[in-house]
Structure 1
């Protein structure tokens, strides 16, 4: 069995601003509450980015960290990403889609994954955790990007 999540939020801000702020990997610790650190390791000629994310320590003091590769396509307003260091996952693939809608931009995240045997959670448990956490993170991003739009943050 594999896990699958599909979550979206509408952000009341211009598409270019939503795109720029949510694709600035180095700023993710300020945008997401779960990331303690985001480090770009390599920007490749094809435009993809290799980066390391580290979470804040969990209740046992463990810091979870992994490397991912991410390719953003401004022409289609989509991003594809996958974990290079899979950790407890057999695989983890992500798809982000930015769609102009009434009231702003619909930011959609789709995650497809499978857990390794012996992982702390099975596929269903991780799917539940991801769905719960994604709602929290998307709401934070919505609030922060909308606040930036109200302040008139320029798109570079």
Structure 2
């Protein structure tokens, strides 16, 4: 089995502003996506994510290698070093529209048979979490919330 998540939000702001804001790791925690052990080397970054699971009383922990392609306005990342994930691949695509910027999150993954969660359950977890995170990012960029507000 495997899982697939595809979420699109429109941010009412110019492409370069959305790119700069959403690719700045110092802002990720305030939009609901905290990371640990962040290291960067040019466009390539590595970090650790701990994702609390709501369907089981457990946290999914994995490492991420992320490559930002500013010219193409896309970010590719792969998840690794987790006993629960066979693989995980994420693509963020940024596309200008007539009203702002379309931000698209695409994730394909497969959990290990021994994982405490199924592919279908993880689809639900990722969909709920990324919808919240992308909405919070859009709200911050569009000025509906302030930088100090961590409730979003």
TM range (shorter): 0.7 to 0.9
* Long gaps (5+) in structure 1: 152-156
Aligned-residue offset at 1:63: 5.0
Residue pairs, 1:6-155, within 5 angstroms: 6-32=6-32, 35=33, 37-39=34-36, 41-44=38-41, 47-55=43-51, 64-147=60-143
Count of residue correspondences: 147
Does structure 1 conserve the Cα–Cα contact (< 8 Å) formed by 2:54 and 2:125?
Answer: no
Secondary structure of the equivalent of 1:147?
coil
- What is the RMSD computed on CA atoms of the aligned residues? 2.7
Aligned-residue offset at 1:26: 2.8
Aligned-residue offset at 1:23: 0.7
Normalization by structure 1: what TM-score? 0.80
Give the Cα separation in 1 of the matches to 2:127 and 2:52: 19
Normalization by structure 2: what TM-score? 0.82
Does structure 1 conserve the Cα–Cα contact (< 8 Å) formed by 2:94 and 2:103?
Answer: yes
Give the Cα separation in 2 of the matches to 1:10 and 1:141: 11
Does structure 2 conserve the Cα–Cα contact (< 8 Å) formed by 1:88 and 1:116?
Answer: yes
